[in-house]
Amino acid sequence: MAKEEKNEDNGVSRREFLNKAKLLAGSVAGGMAMANLAAAGTISDKNKAKEIQIPGSTVKVPEPVYEVFNTDVLILGGGFAAVSAAMEAFGQGANLMMVDKGPFGFSGGFGMNWDNYVTSITDGDIAYKFNFWYSEGLCNQKALKAVFNHMPNHRIMVDIANRGTSAFGRTKNGQLFKVPMPGQEMVEHGFSRHESDEIKRQGINVVERTMITNLFMQDGRCIGAMGIYLPTGAFRVFRAKAVILATGPCTWHYGWISVSPVSLGSPDNTGDLDAIALKNGARITGCEFFANDLISIYPEGLAASYNGGIGADDINYAYICDKNGDFWMKDIPKPEMNRGLFAREVAKKILEGKGSPNGGVYIDCRTNAVLDGLRDTYKRNVKPYKELFGIDVQKDLLEVAVEWYESNAHPIIDENLATDIPGVFCPVGGGLRGAKSGGIALNMSASSLAAIKAVKYAEDNKINKIGWQPVNNEFARVYEILNRKVKNPVRPHAVRHAIQKAAYKALGPIRDAASLESSIKEIVRIKKEDLPRMNVSNKTKIFNTEWKEAIENYNMIDMVEAMCRAALMRTETRGQHYRSDFKKRDNENWLCNITVKLLNGKMKLDKEPIVCLDYTPDQVKKFIDNKFAL
Amino acid sequence: MNVKILKYDPSTDSAPYYKTYNVPWKKNITVLEVLVYIHENHEAIAFDYSCRGRVCGRCAMMLDGEPMMACYTPVKKDGDIVIEPLKGFPVIRDFIVDKSKILERIAKIEARVRSKPLVESDITAVMDPALAKKIGDLEWCCRCLSCVAACPVINEMKDPEKFIGPAGLVALGLRYYDPFDEADRIIEAVQNGLYACIMCGNCNNVCPAAEINHLEVYSELRKEAEKKGLKT
Ligand SMILES: Cc1cc2nc3c(=O)[nH]c(=O)nc-3n(C[C@H](O)[C@H](O)[C@H](O)COP(=O)(O)OP(=O)(O)OC[C@H]3O[C@@H](n4cnc5c(N)ncnc54)[C@H](O)[C@@H]3O)c2cc1C
Ligand code: FES
């Protein structure tokens, strides 16, 4: 039982805390001052009733008060994609603003200050072909080509160096350490902190700790976005002429251990804007594809954490073994390895009954050669694992599981990186990856192109009138979630874990119709029975993490449903989508994308033909059935 | 185990207060797991985290009076513990603190100063691997600001204008070693309180990045400052 000791002194003086409280007021006011610079002013809609009645509910929500911001190009997100878009738009002289759910520079995958592997292009034509081949034919050729044409020789490492990284990995004699790839080369030791520092140095306007909960739509066009300032619960409206969606992958969806899903991703990665785009009429695609590493799952508190764990991937895989100590992958030549094959190999082992007790396999780090060859991020965990957690990888095999680090589910885009919603661009949009996994480099090149397109759109498309009804509706929706009183309440984290469990059961490295159907059934049940009685137990507006969780759940559940439905529909194996009941790639029926659309609250799935430019579908089939050759 | 935590919601509480919860102990349970347990099984609390691997810095807080990373710190035995928000920062709610005052300054310091942009040949040129390692080690600073919470000088002075604190000095060290940076980082270090530091090493003890040797960085900056006659 909890024991309360309100106002107890306990060594910390009351005065000290009052001082802190004052400081807080100061800092929040500071944030507002920054906001007001760009704001059209805080408005209270006086024509509306004092309270908004939620249809079909007795919940009363307060009279809406909005903090209104105004910009031309609105960038949603504060990760790799968002900062690249912001730097490009800023360089074009655009009036822009970024909105980040987390503390900027510390949020999303981007906010983890790890040793990034970054890829630069050496030959744009070969890199384009390779990316297309790797997508197993599903990429939108026009969109992918547009990105490579935009930056045919994108030396990302030079950009990154100019933003502050000084010491990429070196060989023993001081040469730059490069990993060659077709048309590309990869270097290590990019650190993302420099990117956020650069945004601050340039003076780009970032509105942080603000969670976007909906797009601002008018007559079918997007004219901004809205959401909650988490530290105070204030409702913010962002007006804009063009919007860029860069809110990262859907990775917090996949299972639940004790503090995280089976993902190295961030709790910020709840796929909000993908779900929001879907709800606003956009088609999303790529839902059945994801990307993975193999990462240790014990101690539970560090499970699946790339930075807190030890693991392996499609670049370093020789030390992966099954339960009988068979290093079955080590003979696969590096040029033939890719994430899809990697995931499928693990899946096969597990199906053969040679996996580990928790549905993974093992890594063997007992030799110095393996230890020395580990990525620095993993290597730095070896000592603390032993000293803090009593796990000695030099003595014992380590169990590792397939986690999710990226998802491909995003709004479908065209060669202008424009989504189905006029005014909304998506640099990581569905169509750029196909069955291939995403990563920093392509995100950055595409974001720069998306920014150029968005800046142009903002110049060409004025907004003539503005109606506040969608804002009032959204305000009512999110405040209803906070103030809701229900008979048989269930807390948001419990609903979330049910969603995550359903995703984990069906969307793992091995998929089949039965588990997908059963998870879809469970998702439909959660939507019907659990979401309406989801109850935020503490009604505070100040950094209410439960309220945030509850709002995110509405997004997460739609994305998991879309992922399960698309995975069920694709009755073949391609990329990391491995169907144990359809083990072969089937180009006759499945050289196409699957799109998901919401129609009257129901998901409608369609086959979407691939968009061709350089290769006809027949040429694509031949091309991808062969090994990659120049 | 009994877990006493310091709670505060400025919209309802006149001052922060302690509350104690029972949490089942397990081998290798992390402080973050304890917080999640309380949030899910007792009552909602506000805390923040992301990476579970001491690289995002968001989960820094106090365990039994010492700063640490909740994600990466195991609770060794089934006893009583006290968890509080990171010391010295304004509390937004419960464990969520506002670090912006120092973070903004560090971001500005660590931005490179240079007249002309780098070109590819600057980067591909040979770099002494020892220098690359020296810089690379400092890159692991995740700006959790545990060091600031543990620093007796900054806690006494409370004025980052006079003393930026350990994380800021590490950022200055990084740019001092950076062969591409053209600013005088020694003057800047002295201005930012290089000699206010008493070299107690608390920062190094609480730092989650084993790669960073704080005292070595400060000593090298001081040696250079002395050469320039800048010792204060
Ligand atoms: C630990 C780790 C290691 C990796 N290693 C590599 C590597 O070495 N090389 C490589 O190429 N790739 C790597 N990846 C993958 C790569 O980091 C991701 O592909 C990349 O981070 C994606 O960038 P992003 O901008 O799309 O998303 P993120 O960087 O995750 O950013 C998403 C942003 O959106 C914000 N956001 C989310 N929802 C909202 C909302 N509702 N309102 C406002 N803002 C919102 C978040 O706060 C965050 O700022 C790694 C990823 C991780 C996590
Ligand atoms: S969660 Fe990132 S440092 Fe602890």
Q: What is the pLDDT of residue A53?
A: 62
Other CB atoms within a 10 A radius of the CB of residue A126 amount to 17
User: What is the per-residue pLDDT across A71-109, written as a single tens digit (0 to 9) for each?
Assistant: 999 999 999 999 999 999 999 999 999 999 999 999 999
Task: Give contacts of B13 with chain A, Cβ < 8 Å.
Answer: 6
Kindly list the domain boundaries of chain B, sorted by start residue.
2-97, 100-227
User: Which tokens is B72 given?
Assistant: 């990466």
pLDDT at A481 over 90: yes
Higher pLDDT among residues A300 and A43, named by residue: A300
pLDDT at A590 over 80: yes
pLDDT at B108 over 70: yes
Q: Is A185 on the interface with B (CB under 8 A)?
A: no
CATH code, A571: 1.20.58.100
CB pairs A-B closer than 8 Å: 265
User: What is the per-residue pLDDT across B193-213, written as a single tens digit (0 to 9) for each?
Assistant: 999 999 999 999 999 999 999
Do A496 and A397 lie in one domain? The reply is: no
- Domain membership of residue A158 (yes or no) is no
Q: What is the pLDDT of residue A20?
A: 34
According to DSSP, the residues that pair with A481 across neighbouring strands are none
Ligand having the closest approach to the CA of A188: 1
CATH code, A397: 3.90.700
Q: pLDDT class for A34, splitting at 50, 70, 90?
A: very low
What is the CA(B205)–ligand 1 centre distance, in A? 31
What percent of chain B is predicted at pLDDT more than 70? Answer: 100
Task: Give contacts of B107 with chain A, Cβ < 8 Å.
Answer: 105, 196-197, 200-201
Lowest mean pLDDT among A26-30, A149-153, A280-284: A26-30
What residues make up the domain containing A588? 472-593
Chain A residue closest in CA terms to B36: A259
Q: Average pLDDT for residues A555-578, to the nearest whole number?
A: 97
Do A504 and A396 lie in one domain? The reply is: no
Q: What is the pLDDT of residue A52?
A: 62
Q: How many structural domains does chain A have? A: 2
Higher pLDDT among residues B196 and A627, named by residue: B196
- Cβ pair B50:A196 closer than 8 A: no
User: What is the per-residue pLDDT across B128-171, written as a single tens digit (0 to 9) for each?
Assistant: 999 999 999 999 999 999 999 999 999 888 777 789 999 999 99
Q: Domain boundary residue among A348, A377, A405?
A: A405
What percent of chain A is predicted at pLDDT more than 70? Answer: 91
pLDDT at B111 over 60: yes
Which residue, A350, A358, A365, A355, is CA-closest to A316? A365
Do A298 and A373 lie in one domain? The reply is: yes
- Select from A21, A173, A200 the Cβ nearest to the Cβ of B10: A21
- Cβ pair B131:A538 closer than 8 A: no
Lowest mean pLDDT among A16-20, A366-370, A461-465, B214-218: A16-20
Q: Please state the atom number of ligand 2 nearest to the C-alpha of residue B56.
A: 2
B2-97 is classed CATH 3.10.20.30: yes
Peptide linkage before B129 cis (omega within 30 of 0): no
According to DSSP, the residues that pair with A66 across neighbouring strands are A43, A235
Task: Domain B100-227: give its CATH code.
Answer: 1.10.1060.10
- Among B115, B139, B177, pick the best mutation site for testing chain A contact (most A Cβ within 10 A): B139
Which residue, A81, A101, A108, A22, is CA-closest to A429? A81
- Domain membership of residue A575 (yes or no) is yes
Q: pLDDT class for A138, splitting at 50, 70, 90?
A: very high
Nearest-CA residue for ligand 1 atom 24 is A248
According to DSSP, the residues that pair with A107 across neighbouring strands are none
- Domain membership of residue A581 (yes or no) is yes
Q: What is the pLDDT of residue A67?
A: 96
- Cβ pair A158:B178 closer than 8 A: no
- Domain membership of residue A394 (yes or no) is yes
User: What is the per-residue pLDDT across B29-51, written as a single tens digit (0 to 9) for each?
Assistant: 999 999 999 999 999 999 999 99
Q: pLDDT class for A2, splitting at 50, 70, 90?
A: very low
Q: pLDDT class for A44, splitting at 50, 70, 90?
A: very low
Q: Average pLDDT for residues B105-122, to the nearest whole number?
A: 96
User: What is the per-residue pLDDT across A6-23, written as a single tens digit (0 to 9) for each?
Assistant: 333 333 333 333 333 332
- Domain membership of residue A305 (yes or no) is yes
Q: Which residues of A189-213 are buried (b: 16+ CB within 10 A; e: fewer)?
A: bbbbbbbbbbbbbeebbbbbbbbbb
Task: Give contacts of B16 with chain A, Cβ < 8 Å.
Answer: 12, 17, 20
Do A386 and A298 lie in one domain? The reply is: yes
Q: pLDDT class for A32, splitting at 50, 70, 90?
A: very low
Q: Average pLDDT for residues A144-148, to the nearest whole number?
A: 95
Q: Is A120 on the interface with B (CB under 8 A)?
A: no
Q: What is the pLDDT of residue A56?
A: 62
User: What phi and psi, each to the nearest 5 degrees, are found at residue B36?
Assistant: -60, -40
User: What is the per-residue pLDDT across A170-222, written as a single tens digit (0 to 9) for each?
Assistant: 999 999 999 999 999 999 999 999 999 999 999 999 999 999 999 999 999 99
Do A583 and A489 lie in one domain? The reply is: yes
Bridge pairing between strands A361-363 and A311-312: unpaired
Helix axes of A469-483 and A545-569: crossing angle, nearest 10 degrees: 110
User: What is the per-residue pLDDT across A491-511, written as a single tens digit (0 to 9) for each?
Assistant: 999 999 999 999 999 999 999
Task: Give contacts of B20 with chain A, Cβ < 8 Å.
Answer: 2-3, 5
Lowest mean pLDDT among A43-52, A286-295, A300-309, A421-430: A43-52
Q: Average pLDDT over chain A, rounded to whole?
A: 90
Q: What is the pLDDT of residue A335?
A: 84
